[in-house]
Structure 1
Amino acid sequence: MPWGCSHWSHTDLTGRKKGRRSAQFWAAYVPCEAQHRDAVQLTLEQIDVIKRLTDRYSPQLTTCTSAQDIIDAHKNQQLCSLTGVEGGHSLGGSLAVLRTLYAIGVRYMTLTSTCHTPWADSSYADAPTFNMKHGGLTIFGKTIIREMNRLGMMVDLSHVSKGTMRDALEVSEAPVIFSHSSAYELCNTSRNVQDDILQALAKNGGLVMVNFYSKFLSCSDNSTVHDAVAHINHIKRVAGIDHVGLGAGYDGINYTPKGLEDVSSYPTLFAELLGGGWTIDELTKLAGGNFLRVMQQVEKLRDDKKAAGVKPFEDHPNFRTDDPYNCTSS
């Protein structure tokens, strides 16, 4: 089936104009089966696809790597094309790879995907599987957070376990994000964020970008725009207006809410929120103002650390001693 006709396809340039979008994060995702094998190579190939896609549709699409780039592109009526990496297994356990990914434009990394890494637990550590490996972040995992802070790469906690969330919030000096998660109190999947974490996130200055996957909104295959509004309102109520954004998950989900079928549907969401009492200033924060603030704070910490002469971290753990199925070189 052509990708454009797939139930997993929700993003195109025509739809983004109708949806009035001005920035798009593309996820360089590779499957967990690539861990300890060719995950790094496959990740680089995914980033290459993003770069070629952006070049092909320039000037409508333009590469962005900073908050200022997003602001400038918006003024020029261009769509910002940004890159994130979904899954810490893409690092191959290497801080050098992390630094290289940042150098080629990656601006956030989800610490885990749907599998544990040798240094962090995924959401599989929580219910219903309770498949715990580390209890959160290992010492090396905390080093990765510190190096991401030094580089200016956003720490993404979607997909991680609650233990990993707690550890990352404790270690990170910069605000963190949940790039595509919703509220646990309204749908009790381990991929959503519990209220105590929402409260900790507010103290950290971070952001939950609400996912539109029906299974994370209503815990079923069916949901509506009203379910998405309920999750947005819950996060606003618990964490505060400065800590909620839009993550959707389009092109990575196959069950979308009625009324929010694709990227052209955002005006419907904003009309519902406006009718529910949201102010223009609040909607501006939700639409991207909160994300820009987080990205700017991450960049400021990077610049402060550079000015202070903070050096790259140099840990080189040997994961092969812990995992006999790891086929990477020592």
Structure 2
Amino acid sequence: MIIDAHCDALMKMYRNRRLDFQTPSVELDVNYPLMKTGGIKIQFLAIYLPEEIRTPGIEHVLEYVDILYQRILSNPEICLIQSRSDLNGVMNSSRKGVILTLEGVEGLQANLGHLRILHRLGLRSVGLTWNFANWSADGIMEARGGGLTARGRMLIKESNHLNLMLDVSHLSVKGFWDLMEYPDLSVFASHSNAKSVCEHPRNLTDDQIKQLINQQGMIGLTFVPWFVHKSDPVSISDLLRHLDHVCALGGEDYVGFGSDFDGIDRYITGLEDAGMYTNLANELCKRYSLSQVHKFLSRNWNRFLERSLPVS
């Protein structure tokens, strides 16, 4: 049983309206058949407005929500998880679950009413930025390295009021530490690795990893090859070096996976789509106890979600 904290299937389905989530396809790294093959129980689905949308607005965000409802949730075997009761219902049944997340708040147009509407439609997680700056904060690739703006702090307070989880992947280093000033937030990194293992701006420093652990957050190790190892080919063993490192920092109970499937065009060997999660599980079983493997694949995320989602 697997919980995966990040994929961009919605973006691919936004770009190509012919893609069908319900049937086998080589064009999607994550779909319903691959979730079944790979043992994915819950998949986080990101709303990410690609750069070709020059003036991102709420209408684009709502198109993603419509895709979710019309083309994914039309399957009665897939449930939108909005509460702890939804989570428990999925975990104790044969159904699959999805969690709707926002990767970059450009489309909200600095309007907190838009955030509240999305929350009512099922949004449960917000990442303030993609790589660059917007009205709320700087992203990790923004040269000036600024933190939260005044409007960004208003967004954080409203997100906390709505019990939304806050995702620090893509956020600038200063933005990360600004966010940590709010001790009551449910914070996590949906798809980031360890910078000490692979030097890349999108990876987390040891201090950041320790802070997430201290705040009972989560680190979702990602399958983006260039975040895993500097040269190709990249193996599952290379990915597990990041897991070893997070565990060495005290993160055994606060680490899982966030593949970034459908957001990448190069792959770790043996992890080319969601159906191949079994290869990762097999490699984990060679190195860790069965109890630890269950933690990494689902139990840590499940515990975080039980703590972070609203009761009903």
TM-score, with structure 2 as normaliser = 0.87
Matches within 5 A, 1:173-322: 173-276=184-287, 278-299=288-309
Which has the higher Rg, Structure 1 or Structure 2?
1
Q: Tell me which residue corresponds to 1:321.
A: none
Q: Deviations over 1:47-92 (max 9, x none)?
A: 1101112233x22222221233122123221111221111121221
Q: Which amino acid aligns with 1:242?
A: D
Asked whether the 8 Å contact 2:100–2:123 carries over to 1, the reply is yes
Report the Cα offset of residue 240 of structure 1: 1.5
Between 1 and 2, higher relative CO (CA 8 Å, sep ≥ 6) is seen in 2
Tell me the distance in 1 between the aligned counterparts of 2:203 and 2:41: 26
Q: Equivalent residues in 2 for 1:104-183 (5 A)? A: 104-125=121-142, 131-132=143-144, 135-183=146-194
Among 28, 40, 59, which residue is 1:41 paired with?
A: 59
Once the two structures are TM-superposed, the CA of residue 30 in structure 1 deviates from its matched residue by 0.8
Q: Deviations over 1:259-316 (max 9, x none)?
A: 111111222212212211x22222222122222222232236x99xxxxxxxxxxxxx
2:3 aligns with none
Distance in 2 of aligned mates of 1:111 and 1:221: 31
Q: CA deviation at 1:236?
A: 1.8
In the TM superposition, residue 239 of structure 1 has moved relative to its aligned partner by 4.1
Q: SS of 1:170's equivalent?
A: coil
Q: Which amino acid aligns with 1:13?
A: Y
Supply the distance in 1 between the matched residues of 2:168 and 2:159 (Cα, whole angstroms). 13
Contact 2:128–2:136 (CA under 8 A) maintained in structure 1? no
Q: Please tell me the residue identity of whatever aligns with 1:11.
A: V
Shift in Å at residue 94 of structure 1? Answer: 1.4
Which has the larger displacement, 228-237 or 246-255?
228-237
In the other structure, the counterpart of 1:11 is: 30
Match of 1:89 in 2: 106
Residue 80 (1) aligns with residue 97 (2)? yes
Gaps of 5+ in 2: 1-15, 20-24
- CA offset digits 1:136-155 (Å, max 9, x no partner): 11232222122211101110
What count of residue pairs does the alignment treat as equivalent? 291
Structure 2: distance between partners of 1:12 and 1:32: 24
Question: 1:65·1:107 contact (CA, 8 Å) conserved in 2?
Answer: yes
Q: 2:263 & 2:84 partners in 1: Cα distance?
A: 24
1:229–1:269 Cα contact (<8 Å) kept: no
Q: Does the CA-based 8 Å contact 1:19-1:265 persist in structure 2? A: yes
In structure 1, list runs of 5 or more residues that go unmatched: 126-130, 304-330
Identity of aligned residues (%): 28
CA distance in 1, matches of 2:262, 2:193: 17
**What is the TM-score normalised by the length of structure 1?**
0.82
CA distance in 2, matches of 1:146, 1:288: 29
- Aligned mates of 2:57, 2:131 — CA distance in 1: 14
How well do the aligned residues superpose, as a CA RMSD in angstroms? 2.1
How many angstroms apart in 2 are the aligned matches of 1:29 and 1:194? 25
Partner letter of residue 245 of structure 1?
G
- Verify: 1:21 aligned to 2:40, yes or no: yes
* Corresponding residue number in structure 1 for 2:6: none
C-alpha displacement at 1:156, in angstroms?
Answer: 0.5
Bigger helix share = 1
- Runs of 4+ in structure 1 deviating by more than 6 angstroms, as ranges, are none
Distance 2:231 2:32 in 1: 29
CA-CA distance at 1:215 after TM superposition: 1.0
State the one-letter code of the partner of 1:111: L
Q: Structure 1 residue 34: deviation in Å?
A: 4.2
